[in-house]
């Protein structure tokens, strides 16, 4: 598969894009186990892209059960270098109202340490900086398309990732607000960090479904479902416009993983070298 491909990881409710023509389903085996689902190769207009349902079609995998390493590795092995993540989040700030799309540029890892969070180890020592976990050029392209579609969005801010599957207590929610976090979710860590290790340009679209429980106003299930339907419609429209636009405006970017490996090459096994060949391609 040629490099420079575009990938989409869909979150809650974004399992199939109505605007795409499915070309092929790829069953990908990785050194890190099975991805959440088959990777769907598809076309939006004349642009090829690769779609993966983070929680599997049918929503069968909890956030902490997702095999994030296999998901990212599978997409990279198919040539994906530009990766757009779509996920549902709660709001930690008054200005991020339901139906707003937030494009965060920072992540706070508040998971419990149970998730496999690196491709390295087992004989490969490497350190990749995640000081800037998202790709700013890709984020700008998403913002440009949001602007063109007149979507309610904001750029930058922090996404705090909790373990789940339970939502926060009110005390926890207020602690996260004291950190200055903008939105709260359960999936973008270690996903974003692994994308960085894999040399991908990554940016996320965080779709606000409701205010987290710091805000004591009661929100009914019916209200949340209406918001999710609206968010899904807007996400479909955004992806439909973004993918062809990105394809016409692909850019070069620095892959920090190229110089991250500390282990001498003569100490690497053939399996190590195969993993690095994919990650550094």
Residue among 167, 181, 39 at smallest CA distance from 109: 181
Q: Which of 105, 212, 247, 266 is catalytic?
A: 212
Q: What is the DSSP letter of 121?
A: B
Question: Is 265 within a domain?
Answer: no
Question: Does 279 reside within a domain?
Answer: no
Looking only at the bridges linking them, the beta strands covering 21-26 and 106-110 are: unpaired
Per-residue tokens: 129: 């900086």
In a domain, 125, yes or no: yes
pLDDT band per the 50, 70, 90 thresholds, residue 222: confident
- Can you read off the two tokens belonging to residue 59? 């929503």
Task: Find all residues with CB under 8 Å of 153, minimum gap 6, and list them.
Answer: 100, 101, 102, 103, 143, 146, 147
Is 269 contained in some domain? Answer: no
The label of the residue with tokens 């800037």 reads 132
CA 161, distance to chain mean position in Å, is 12
- Is the predicted pLDDT of residue 15 greater than 60, yes or no? no
Assess if residue 47 is contained within a domain.
yes
Question: What is the number of domains present in the chain?
Answer: 1
| Full residue range of the structural domain in which residue 152 is found | 5-257
Supply the Cα-derived Rg of the chain in whole angstroms: 18
Q: Which of 37, 210, 247, 271 is catalytic?
A: 210
pLDDT tens, 223-232? Answer: 888 999 999 9
Tell me: pLDDT of 13 over 60. Answer: no
Q: What's the CA gap between 233 and 149, in Å, rounded?
A: 12
Do the domain assignments include residue 160?
yes
Residue 162 sits in a domain whose CATH number is: 3.40.50.1580
User: Quick check: is 156 catalytic?
Assistant: no
Vertex 253 angle, CA 237 and 127, to 5°: 110
Convert the pLDDT of each residue in 156-194 to its tens digit: 999 999 999 999 999 999 999 999 999 999 999 999 999
271 a catalytic residue: no
């Amino acid at each position: 598969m040629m490099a420079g491909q575009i990938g989409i990881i869909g979150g809650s409710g974004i399992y199939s894009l109505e605007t795409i023509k499915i070309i092929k389903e790829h069953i990908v085996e990785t050194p890190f186990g099975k991805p959440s689902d088959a990777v769907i190769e598809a076309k939006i207009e004349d642009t090829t892209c690769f779609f993966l349902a983070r929680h599997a079609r049918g929503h069968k995998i909890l956030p902490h059960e997702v095999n994030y390493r296999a998901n990212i590795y599978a997409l990279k092995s198919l040539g994906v270098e530009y990766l757009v993540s779509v996920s549902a989040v709660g709001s930690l700030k008054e200005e991020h109202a339901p139906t707003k799309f937030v494009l965060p540029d920072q992540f706070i890892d508040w998971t419990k340490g149970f998730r496999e969070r690196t491709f390295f180890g087992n004989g490969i020592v490497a350190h990749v900086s995640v000081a800037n976990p998202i790709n700013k050029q890709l984020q700008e392209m998403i913002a440009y398309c949001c602007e063109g579609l007149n979507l309610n969005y904001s750029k930058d801010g922090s996404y705090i990732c909790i373990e789940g599957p339970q939502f926060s207590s009110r005390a926890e929610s207020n602690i996260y607000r004291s950190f200055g976090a903008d939105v709260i979710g359960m999936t973008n860590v270690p996903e974003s960090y692994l994308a960085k290790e894999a040399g991908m340009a990554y940016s996320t679209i965080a779709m606000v479904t409701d205010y987290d429980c710091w805000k004591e106003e009661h929100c009914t299930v019916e209200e949340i479902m209406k918001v999710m339907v609206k968010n899904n419609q807007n996400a479909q429209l955004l992806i439909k416009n973004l993918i062809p636009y990105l394809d016409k405006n692909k850019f070069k970017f620095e892959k920090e993983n190229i110089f991250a490996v500390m282990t001498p090459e003569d100490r690497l096994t053939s399996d190590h070298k195969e993993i690095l060949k994919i990650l550094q391609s």
